Amino acid sequence: MYEFQYHRPASIDEAKKILADNDEAIILAGGMTMLPTMKLRLARPSDLVDLSAIDSLRGIRKDGKTIEIGAMTPHADVAGSSVVQSEIPALADLAGMIGDAQVRNRGTIGGSLSNSDPAADYPAAVLGLNAVIKTDTREIAADDFFKDLFETALGPNEIIQAVRFPKPKRAAYAKFPNPASRYAVVGVMIAETTDGIRAAVTGAGPCAFRATEIEAALAKDFSATALDGLTFDAGDLNDDLHASPEYRAHLVIVMAKRAVAAASV
């Protein structure tokens, strides 16, 4: 690592001030992405602004028909929350599939979404469940949030405060993990929401996206067999050591079917 200054502000305002005063300051949440990046000397922040002392950023609240999760809530809390398990079990399941126990105890939902790793799981949840991302300045709809590889709608120094998930009628997430890293090679969240069927795919493209052809097929018939014979276009999908675009395209359908089957029970 290069040398840096470490800050642990007690409020959002204080955090914003440090970020504003230092050009090369970066937010630190669980550090599960940030710290390895720094160790490999791929990032050189002048200052790290650790959000862990800001209590209001952590916790899970039920508010009518929505669940609000603070940005600094670790994956393990979401996976283990009885509220999430009873209201949106698909979300608790997804959080429980992230990484390993250590990662789930450190990594946060805010960090995961800001980072928008193409292979991260939460983006599929946010997009599939039509969540709203609350930052210190505005609310961003899931459909407007993920822009490209590691690129989101967040402005410079904009801080995610919480994510609001409306309770779906039914939903399930199916993940094909990368055997090496256990990130998603392909993950599909299928949800029947008050606004219709949503199918969100992570791992397959540069960032999470909705699979409209799957949504259309399921809108007619919410069953795994409705996807029989459907092929997914491999054209723009990721190509790396772990999976070719063709294989990813195939997995999108297989995982979608599994999610539909799981959501139907």
Partner 1 sequence: MTENGIGAAVRRKEDHRFITGQGQYTDDINRPNQLYAHIIRSPLPHARIRGIELKAALDMPGVVAVLTGKDMVDDGIGGLPCGWGVNNKDGSPMTEPGHPPLAADTVRYVGDQVAVVLADKRSIARDAAELVDIDYEELPAAASLSAASAEAAPAVWEEAPDNVCFDWEIGDAAATDEAFASAAHVSSIDIVNSRLIPNAIEPRVAIGEYDSGRDEYTLYTTSQNPHVIRMLMGAFVLSIPEHKLRIIAPDVGGGFGSKICHYAEEAIVTWASKRVNRPVKWTADRSESFMSDAHGRDHISHAELALSKDGDFLGLRVRTKANLGAYLSTFGPAVPTYLYATLLAGTYKTPAIYCEVKGMFTHSVPVDSYRGAGRPEACYLLERLVDRAARETGIDPLEIRRRNFIPRDGFPYQTPVLLEYDSGDYHACLDKCLELADYKGFEKRRAESAERGKLRGVGLSTYIEACGIAPSNVAGALGARAGLYESGTIRVNPTGSVTVLTGSHSHGQGHETTFAQLVTEALGVDFDNVDVVHGDTGKIPFGMGTYGSRSLAVGGMALMAALEKIKTKSRKIAAHLLEASEDDVEFVDGQLRVAGTDRTVSFGDVALAAYVPHNYPLDVLEPGLDETAFYDPKNWTFPAGCHICEVEIDPDTGVVEIDRFTAADDFGRIINPMIVEGQVHGGLTQGIGQALYEQCVYDDSGQLLTGSYMDYCMPKADNLPNFEVTTNTTLCTHNVLGVKGCGEAGTIGSTPAVINAVVDALSELGVNDVPIPATPERVWDAIRTAAHNRAVSA
Q: Which residues bind ligand FAD (CB under 6 A)?
A: 26-34, 51, 71, 75, 98-99, 103, 106-108, 110-112, 114-115, 120-122, 159-160, 181-183
The listed partner (ligand FAD, partner 1, none) that binds 242, CB under 5 to 8 Å by sort, is partner 1
Name the minimum Å distance from CB 12 to ligand FAD. Answer: 10
Q: Which residue has the tokens 């397959």?
A: 204
From the list 63, 82, 220, 241, which residue makes contact with partner 1 (rule: CB under 8 A)? Answer: 241
Name the minimum Å distance from CB 230 to ligand FAD. Answer: 26
Binding segment for partner 1 among 23-31, 155-163, 176-184, 227-235 (CB under 8 A)?
A: 176-184
Q: Which residue has the tokens 């000397």?
A: 41
For residue 42, state whether it binds partner 1 (rule: CB under 8 A): no
Name the minimum Å distance from CB 209 to partner 1. Answer: 21
For residue 179, state whether it binds partner 1 (rule: CB under 8 A): yes
Helices (H), the chain: 12-21, 34-39, 75-80, 82-87, 89-96, 101-106, 109-115, 122-128, 142-145, 212-220, 245-264
For residue 145, state whether it binds partner 1 (rule: CB under 8 A): no
Q: Is 13 exposed, middle or buried (0-12, 13-18, 19+ CB in 10 A)?
A: exposed
E-only strand ranges, 118-247:
132-135, 139-141, 146-148, 151-152, 160-166, 170-177, 184-193, 196-202, 209-210
From the list 82, 180, 220, 265, which residue makes contact with partner 1 (rule: CB under 8 A)? Answer: 180
Distances (CA, A) of 109 to 126, 189, 205: 10, 16, 20
156-189: buried (b, 16+ CB within 10 Å) or exposed (e) per residue? ebbbbbbbbbbbbebbbbbbbbbeeeebbbbbbb
Q: Do 23 and 46 touch, CB atoms closer than 8 A?
A: yes
Binding segment for partner 1 among 85-93, 102-110, 121-129, 236-244 (CB under 8 A)?
A: 236-244
Comparison of 40 and 265: residue with beta carbon closer to partner 1: 40
List residues bridging with 61 in a β-sheet: 68
The listed partner (partner 1, ligand FAD, none) that binds 265, CB under 5 to 8 Å by sort, is none
List residues bridging with 240 in a β-sheet: 243
From the list 32, 243, 249, 259, which residue makes contact with partner 1 (rule: CB under 8 A)? Answer: 243
The listed partner (ligand FAD, partner 1, none) that binds 191, CB under 5 to 8 Å by sort, is none
Binding segment for partner 1 among 7-15, 75-83, 150-158, 247-255 (CB under 8 A)?
A: 247-255
Question: How many angstroms separate the most distant Cα atoms in the chain?
Answer: 57
The listed partner (ligand FAD, partner 1, none) that binds 254, CB under 5 to 8 Å by sort, is partner 1
From the list 102, 181, 194, 225, which residue makes contact with partner 1 (rule: CB under 8 A)? Answer: 181
Pairwise CA distance, residues 214 & 218, whole Å: 6
Name the residues that contact partner 1, by CB under 8 A. Answer: 1-3, 40-41, 176, 179-181, 183, 241-244, 247, 250-251, 254
